[in-house]
Amino acid sequence: MNISELKKLLNAGEWNDIEFKEARTDVPKSAFETLSAFANTHGGCLVFGIAQRGESYEINGVEFPDKVQNDFLSVLHADGKINHDVAVKEQKLTINGKTVLIFHVAENQQTRKPVYLDGDIRRTFIRKGAGDYKAQMQDIERMLRDASADRWDSQPFDRVLLKEAFHPGSLRWYRDRFNQANTGFNPQQPDRDFLYHWGFLLRQGKRFIPTRAAIMLFGSSLAVHQLLPRPTLDVQFLGYATGDALPETRWIDRIVCDDNIVQAWEQLVTKYRFFMPKPFRDIDPVTLGRRDDPPGFRVFREAAVNLLIHQDYGDHSRKGVIKFFRDGIEFWNPGDVFGDDFRLWEPGEKEVRNPSIAMAMRRIAMCEQAGTGLRMMREAWKRLGHPSPTYKNDRARKAFEFFIPELDKEVDTASDLIRAMFGGTPHAKSQFKAQEAQVEAQEAQVDLPKWQRDILSACSVGDKTARELLVVAGYRNRTGNFKKGLQRLLDERCMELTIPEKPNSRLQKYRLTAMGRQRISASVGNADK
């Protein structure tokens, strides 16, 4: 970082990869919380010698730079302060006779997370926006699962009898695809021998026990529900675009798949064919084979199968979601992608969360070879004349979001699809709305503090600056509580930035989203009860 770059950052302010500390004579204790947060998320720069004056930052310098630098770096290697080594590169700048210390903190590998302080795993921090947040226990558990050398899907599962463990139709579907994609194997081999040969069964004495991968791929309904107490996949077909206000009819159709991966895929393809019939002119309706796959379907299949095989199935609080908007398809995955973000588009095999499930799907040619899927989707979609797909690998929330813009066939109106599905009868529509209302009632969670609800209400009449929202919230300065509350509203998509590509712009404002309007309405409804 040079002087010019630092001055630009000072004008932009703090965000997810930059934190300023005054540190005039000593290392502030909060610096180590920031270190933990950076190491657990995407890394960042910790800058000493910067003072905050209201909404702006200015250089005040570090009076004893050698002492402060040595104090900070020596603590990193002290026993008991930080549980894992963190790669830190120090830098010193002199600006108008004042010394600024810059510490470039690298993200730790997932096998060396969580990074916590003072030997207390509860002192694990993650970075969201411009703030350091103490990780919740579920955040820590996600990191620990990803850090384990014993992958979740390779572990045995013995809560059901072997004769009750598998869904015959799903196993038959898989073996048919396997025989099409692989030659030289005996198609008459007994199922137990086939499963044992490919690692789906483990031998314990005279017993054979299925792995979690086997249950997730082609387990019976009983076995899947014993293993996974939440849906495998939630698919929503929406009659509006991503930037539209939330309409009265929230979704047009929805399937919640709570069976194995093969069954979830079959249900998904059936719905896809209904809503997107154009790409299926050359698809074999029985085998859904890859030969002559239309390019658009190939991209969709890769994204959908990636979501199914790379989920954090050990996370029982969240589920994979696919949303069909008018202007694209959003794939939301509970579980971030391992490795550096800048390497996601590059070729080469990468470490995955569920290697047994991933390899099983590659054996039947249901997804690209390791390390090529994202690049294939981008290139194939652009060749069709569409904008490049986008992604967000969110380390703080341990989630991955992928968006395919511009569908091959756009949905014209919500009413068109309702007529196609329900015949347009008033009775059918009323049944549909009643079903939608029931789901919304189950999902509504209005737990925002009053000052955050006041912020949403203020944004409902126009975009607001951070300074304007300070007044609305009743704060005099941008305290940590205010920053965290604002970031929560962004994380939960109740608000969005007006200039998202430049989050630290001095012209930045906050805009209410459709989700924010829904939360306001739900708040009013609860207040009336």
Q: What is the pLDDT of residue 376?
A: 85
Tokens of 408: 């091959």
Question: Which range scores top for mean pLDDT: 79-83, 284-288, 437-441?
Answer: 79-83
Helix (H) or strand (E) holding 469: helix 466-473
Confidence bin at 426 (pLDDT 50/70/90): very low
Give residue-wise pLDDT tens across range 489-500: 888 888 999 888
List, for residues 380-393, the tens digit of each pLDDT value: 888 888 888 999 99
- C-alpha span between 72 and 26 (Å, rounded): 9
> Which pLDDT belongs to residue 409?
42
Of the two residues 63 and 298, the one the predictor is more confident about is 63
Note if the pTM is more than 0.85: no
- Three-state DSSP class for 125? strand
Most confident of 218-222, 426-430, 492-496: 218-222
Burial of 242 (0-12, 13-18, 19+ CB in 10 A): middle
What is the spatial distance between Cα 501 and Cα 486, in angstroms, rounded to a whole number?
18
Question: Residue 525 to residues 233, 502, 518: CA-CA distances in angstroms?
Answer: 30, 36, 10
Please determine, for residue 444, whether its predicted confidence score (pLDDT) is greater than 60: no
36: left (phi over 0), alpha (psi -120 to 50) or beta: alpha
Q: What is the pLDDT of residue 478?
A: 76
Mean pLDDT of 258-272: 92
Q: How confident is the model at residue 244 (pLDDT cuts 50, 70, 90)?
A: confident
As its CATH architecture, domain 3-136 has 2-Layer Sandwich (3.30)
What value does the mean pLDDT take over residues 59-77? Answer: 93
Under the banding of pLDDT at 50, 70 and 90, the label for residue 107 is: very high
Sequence spans of domains, the chain:
3-136, 152-227, 233-422, 444-528
Q: Which CATH architecture has domain 233-422?
A: 2-Layer Sandwich (3.30)
Instruction: Assess contact for 401 and 392: CB atoms under 8 A.
Output: yes
Task: Could you please state the CATH topology (level 3) that the domain comprising 444-528 is classified under.
Answer: Arc Repressor Mutant, subunit A (1.10.10)
| Distance in angstroms (rounded) separating the CA atoms of residues 230 and 264 | 13
Beta-ladder partners of 234: 256, 321
Q: Give the pLDDT of residue 207.
A: 93
Radius of gyration of the chain from its Cα atoms, rounded to whole angstroms: 26
User: Over 80: is that where the pLDDT of 120 sits?
Assistant: yes
Residues in the chain: 529
Chain centre distance of CA 33: 23
Is residue 346's pLDDT more than 80?
no
pLDDT of amino acid 348: 66
Q: In one letter, which amino acid is 26?
A: D
pLDDT for res 422: 40
